[in-house]
Amino acid sequence: MVRQYFQTQYEVAKTEILPGLMSSILLIILIFISFNAFADENASILEETKLLSEESPSYYQINAGDVLSITVWNDPSFSAEQLLVRPDGFISAPVVGEIKAGGQTIDQLQKNLSESLSRYLKDEPTVVITILATSGSQVFVLGKVNAPGAYPLTGNFDVTQAIAMARGLNSFASENKILVLRRDVRGVQQAIEFEYGKVRSGKDLSSNILLNSGDVVVVP
């Protein structure tokens, strides 16, 4: 009789209790997996945004016409998907309003924006700025080239690439007397020598410098 009683109770547990218990365990497992997937997705998005920011050279100076995005991880409501740098060099950032972007590097603007946002957030804000478009960045190639003019500066761009964009030197060019005219942050202009003949032969590649926005390549 006792054995039969326990056998009956076991059959009841199998048909009524165990399915409910298994469903609860399955639900807990699914919630745990979903939570981990959500955390991994957020971590992946943060990492991708940081990588995009790192791809923008830290020495690059933001120009009027550039398009930026701002991500504030402490509070997404302070973020902005697209911000155009106006001709006066300012952007209209959420909450903080007008802030100078033109002439600033990515690191400088992130620091300035972080300091401005710290007045509104309890914790120190984590700000990531990405350059979406460098529409305001140009270099100029003048003189004895086949297509002189202004060319958009996209990514890393050196002197030989600028000359190639201008369709190369013409037959009257002095290839070893080329100058790169550049202004520093104080507006003082300097002339950097570039000997195309040596670079072309691979003898002196150090003069094939990366160009900054506003640089002028002069081919006499």
Structural domain for 103, as ranges: 56-133
Which residue from 104, 29, 118 is spatially nearest to 72, judged by alpha carbons? 118
Same-domain check for residues 11 and 65: no
Domain closes at, from 55, 75, 96: 55
Same-domain check for residues 106 and 154: no
Same-domain check for residues 142 and 215: yes
| pLDDT: which is higher, 5 or 194 | 194
Cβ contact 90:96 at 8 Å: no
Same-domain check for residues 19 and 37: yes
pTM score? 0.53
Q: What residues contact 1, with CB distance under 8 A and at least 6 apart? A: none
Domain closes at, from 113, 133, 153: 133
CATH label of the domain that carries residue 186 = 3.10.560.10
| 138-188 per-position pLDDT tens digit | 899 999 999 999 888 777 789 999 999 999 999 899 998 999 999 876 778
Q: Where residue 203 falls among pLDDT bands split at 50, 70, 90?
A: confident
Which residue from 173, 78, 165, 144 is spatially nearest to 116, judged by alpha carbons? 78
Percent of the chain with pLDDT over 70: 72
Same-domain check for residues 147 and 215: yes
